[in-house]
With several copies, the nearest count.
Chain A
Amino acid sequence: MNTPGILGIYPFGLGRENWRISRFVYYGLLALQHRGQEASSIITLGDDLHVESRRGLVEDAFNEKALLSIPGFIGVGFLSSASNDSPIVISSPIRLVLVGDGMPLLGKDRQSAWRAFAELLSDEISRTGNSLKAAVKLVEEVNGGYSFIALTEDQEMLAGRDKYGIKPLEIGSLGFDLGAIASETSALDVLGMDHVLSVGRGEVVRFDPYSIERMRVRELPNPAYCSFEYVYLARPDSILNGIPVYSVRIRMGEILAKETPATADTVIGIPETAIPFAIGYSRASGINVDLGFVTTGRRVRTAIKPSVFERLMGVQLKLNPIKSAVNGKDIILIDDSVVRGTTLRNTVWNLKRRGARRIHVRIGSPPLKFSCPFGVEIPPPDELIARSLSEEEIAEVVGADTFSFLSVNGLSQALGLPPSNLCLRCWLGGVKS
């Protein structure tokens, strides 16, 4: 599932050119690594623009020490789970480089849509001479679910979000020196920054050497925050749109326990995402929570691996069951979502092999049935098990005793927002455009 991570860091004031920013970008990207593991880019701007795009995990793609030699005091970072994904570089009329999460509805695929967006931005800046107004105009006119960071030849950094606020974007500050924009607050935390606020929906924030300005589109529709961010995409320590992801996941677990209770000896979450769901379920049901699995090797986000093979590999290395936690027990097994069901079946089988008795599978989100129009790469419908099978049938296939999803109402309740303020397209299909 492609939900890139984007990051921009901008120094101000006396000695701003003294900052070596490359490793700030590196560590910020590390904290967004869960958003993309196939391509990573570090862009720095000082006397010159440096765009370093590499394949693979940030830690593999970049040598943390060698980064010290990349000059530049303004930095932008980008991560994607598509290995051919890279920042968009436009050379005229206005030279700029742009990274984006989600997708403006300007083309068939992310890459071409973002290229079109960046070209429009360059043209519009050239036409109006005001990059802030130009960017706001684009946000006003271009539909989609997206956020972006662009760096222009004039050392201006523009960061903006679509009108509905579908994709997240958060602002941070460090001391008297640095400002930053990132997909998630986890990046700000890891950089030791204070989280300040979210970029508003339909808002563009501009950093230039002497000021920060922000401007919003005139007519704001209701927000439609991506609910999948809270279910799976975001890191649990992140706070998006003022809503802490961890608390939402705890509540999802609690609501799940109320909606579909089960009798069991222990509640186990599939690492890492579903552990807070399990804690929530445990709290609401009074059933013990256990750590059920240990991860081997690198932490790899399995749902965003490109091939089935790699995905399975990730899951298997990720999920070695702790025998003494499951042997002889009735288990409530919680996962964040179900795509093909392959990994879930594998997991259920593994638990039974280690002595688990009954396994009640609970999913912390509604059935995933539709593709995402904004580039979150959900497999085609005929590969979505929830699209073709009922809960009872899925239980049978994965070998579970019972199987239930969270309701859409439960999801909305956990988020503390009405369904009308959420993007629910992957569960319910295209409602708004």
Chain B
Amino acid sequence: MKIMGVGGGAREHALAEAIARSAHSPEIYWVSELRNPGIYKIVKATGGEYALADTKDAGRIADLAVKWHVDMVVVGPEEPNFHGIPDEVERRGIPCIGAKRSLSIIEMSKAEMRRLQWKYNIPGKLLFKTYQSYSEALRDLERYSETLTWLQNVALKPARQAGGKGVKVVEDSQIYLHAEKQEFKERHMRWLEEYMEKYSDIEEKILVEEKVWGPEYTLQCFVDGRTVVGMPLVQDNKHAHEFDIGPETGGMGSYTGRDFLLPFITEEEYKRSIEIVEAMVKAIQDVTGEHYHGFIAGQMMLTEIEGPTLIEMYSRLGDPEGVNVLALLKTDIVDIFEAIIDERLAKMKIEFSDEATVVKSLAPKGYPDFRSLAKGHPVYVNETLIKEKGCKLYWGSAHLGLDGSITTGGSRLIEILAIDESPAKASQRIEECISLNPVKLLDGWGLFYRSDIGSAEMISRRVELAERVRRLYKYREERGTLGKRIDWLPKIGRVDPVASLLKELSFRR
């Protein structure tokens, strides 16, 4: 059996590893833009081949699959989905684990995702507005107190998934700092407009979404077009630095708890979350007429407005969240892939080992916002040491040269995984490992990572936060006001922002 993978990050390293674990003993083929040292080793060990290519080039990827006579293709990252790799591969008759282009729109266009959710009235919604230009957005945002209340505290996002970049949350609720915040919002929206110029596949440039607060978690699932199977919840940590400070990254580390849950998420909340994802899958299939085969993930937040709330969707596994769940997956992943292709997931029993995991990313300084600084540094890794300390290493954004040297790719370089009975213990194990400096950049450039991820301190803070939020949404539930937002504006009177949004959406249709 031959399986080809697409994509070169740590998530793909974990995927390759999981495939390699299969009882089917597949020959593994891989294609990515940089030569991932970890995947390369696995590919070589299985007797497969590794090619470098533009993973957005559907023809080129499909050609390779055909050339290698693979039995199935597994797509790791989102961009190949957006560019129709699954569509093209399947057109060539090869089954693919990956969301087709039209389905992956729920990740690619954050606006479309949200419109779909509102259209199908799926729980966990947020108010939003989209703009084609920054000046248009500004008109709404600069009128401080005459405008709808929710527009004061917003997330400014690129309307399209843009490599996890460009999201700013501006809570403009300290009016005495309004001038600074306003200026910052303006500058950022101008930047967003420019930044989005390079994506020609979407008209809307800027998404303004109501700002919510609460603990975040990721629910990753297998989908076969009929059934959605949830995996253990993972909490990813988006802030670049310790203490949840600093810019949004792809994820600086993540952890799982026990029993599919996180210490701050209840079973009922898990259930609601998976219902949301199921409903979203159903909706996108309904709209597109396509069957969703592959991974899907809801990046969720527990909010006071509705409890489990959808922040964004992934048409793939998360990174690093994928690393956590794949490490726990006991069922043969190739069996699962086959079940997805045959749309018989419902009948399958998928098992995960009931242990806690923690993953921490190591990134060269400069990541995420100044990647040129982070790129091209020679890497030294002491893999033996990592193994000795009971940890596992996954290669991320790194390139294995033909001379055997490894250089940084500019994104997260390495992810280190530990499994233990609690996140705190697993985290502590990684800390001990890292304190021995198993990874270095040979030119002296710095690496950074977050020591706090998975720590007891972090988890107790998340628990406290979740309790505060849960109290509020439970209370709304009791009163039947989940999701309800009512505003009253002097001179205007009572306003229902939900009704306004729905009106606008139907008008748009």
Contact = CB atoms under 8 A, between A and B. Distances in A.
Genuine A/B complex? yes
Nearest to A18: B187
A190 B173 CA distance: 10
Contact of A176 (B169, B243, B487): B169
Contacts of A173: 239, 243-246
Interface string A162-202: 00000000010111111100000000001110101100000
A133 interface: no
Interface in B357-406: 365-370, 373
Contacts of A382: 490-491, 493
Nearest to A27: B176
A381 to B, nearest CB: 10
Contacts of A328: 467, 471
B177 A14 contact: no
Contact of A177 (B247, B366, B457, B461): B247
Contact of B243 (A15, A196, A316, A327): A196
Contact of A23 (B177, B451, B488): B177
B475 A176 contact: no
B100 to A, nearest CB: 32
Nearest to B181: A192
Contacts of B226: none
B168 A397 contact: no
A379 B304 CA distance: 32
A175 B448 contact: no
A178 B188 CA distance: 15
Given A196-B244, A357-B475, A24 B177 contact: yes
B472 interface: yes
Contacts of B471: 328, 355, 357
Contact of B168 (A175, A190, A197, A396): A175
Contacts of B213: 353
B188 A15 contact: yes
Contacts of A388: 488, 493-494
B157 to A, nearest CB: 11
Q: How large is the interface on B (under 10, 10 to 19, 20 to 34, 35 or more residues)?
A: 35 or more
Given A213-B448, A389-B488, A13 B247 contact: yes
B490 A383 contact: yes
A428 interface: no
Contact of A191 (B174, B368, B446): B174
A212 B486 contact: no
Which of B169, B213, B472, B490 has the most chain A CB atoms closer than 10 A to its own CB?
B490
Interface stretch (A106-114, A243-251, A307-315): A307-315
A12 interface: yes
A177 B175 contact: no
Contacts of A191: 174, 177
Given A20-B183, A316-B174, A397 B243 contact: no
A197 B459 CA distance: 12
B180 A19 contact: yes
Interface in B132-177: 144-145, 149, 165-171, 173-177
A345 B184 contact: no
A194 B366 contact: no
B120 interface: no
Contacts of B177: 23-24, 27, 191-192
B193 to A, nearest CB: 14
A43 B180 CA distance: 17
B494 A176 contact: no
B440 interface: no
A106 B491 CA distance: 29
A393 interface: yes
B490 A379 contact: yes
A275 interface: no
A211 B168 contact: no
Nearest to B149: A345
Contacts, number: 170
A347 to B, nearest CB: 11
A317 interface: yes
Contacts of B179: 23, 68
B246 A179 contact: yes
A13 B173 contact: no
Contacts of A355: 467-468, 471
A54 interface: no
A360 interface: no
A14 B247 contact: yes
Nearest to A14: B369
Contacts of B368: 13
Nearest to B246: A12
Contact of A13 (B240, B446, B486): B240
Given A27-B176, A341-B488, A176 B247 contact: yes
Contacts of B240: 12-13, 211
Contact of B239 (A23, A176, A401): A176
Contacts of B429: none
Nearest to B242: A212
Nearest to B471: A357
Given A173-B239, A197-B457, A312 B448 contact: no
A192 B171 contact: yes
A420 interface: no
B129 interface: no
B483 to A, nearest CB: 13
Interface string A2-42: 00000000001111001110011001000000000000000
Contacts of B245: 12, 171, 173, 178-179, 196, 212
A394 B144 CA distance: 21
A274 B446 CA distance: 50
A13 B242 contact: no
Contact of B244 (A190, A194, A211): A194
A214 B180 contact: no
Interface in B452-496: 457, 461, 467-468, 471-472, 475, 479, 481, 484, 486-488, 490-491, 493-494
B243 A212 contact: yes
A396 B373 contact: no
Nearest to A341: B488
Contacts of A12: 240-241, 245-247, 369
Contacts of A176: 167-169, 238-239, 246-248
Nearest to A393: B494
A346 B175 CA distance: 11
Q: Can you list the 9 inter-chain pairs with the closest CB atoms, starting with the nearest?
A: A13-B247, A210-B365, A179-B245, A383-B490, A211-B448, A212-B241, A196-B243, A12-B246, A14-B369
Given A179-B243, A210-B370, 9 more contacts: A23-B176, A192-B174, A316-B175, A346-B173, A353-B213, A355-B467, A357-B475, A385-B488, A385-B490
22 contacts: A12-B240, A15-B191, A174-B171, A190-B174, A196-B461, A208-B365, A210-B367, A211-B240, A211-B241, A211-B365, A309-B144, A312-B145, A313-B175, A313-B176, A316-B174, A317-B176, A354-B468, A355-B471, A357-B472, A385-B490, A397-B487, A401-B475
Interface of A: 12-15, 18-20, 23-24, 27, 64, 68, 171, 173-179, 190-192, 194, 196-197, 205, 208, 210-214, 308-309, 312-313, 316-317, 327-328, 340-342, 345-346, 352-355, 357-358, 379, 382-383, 385, 388-389, 393-394, 396-397, 401
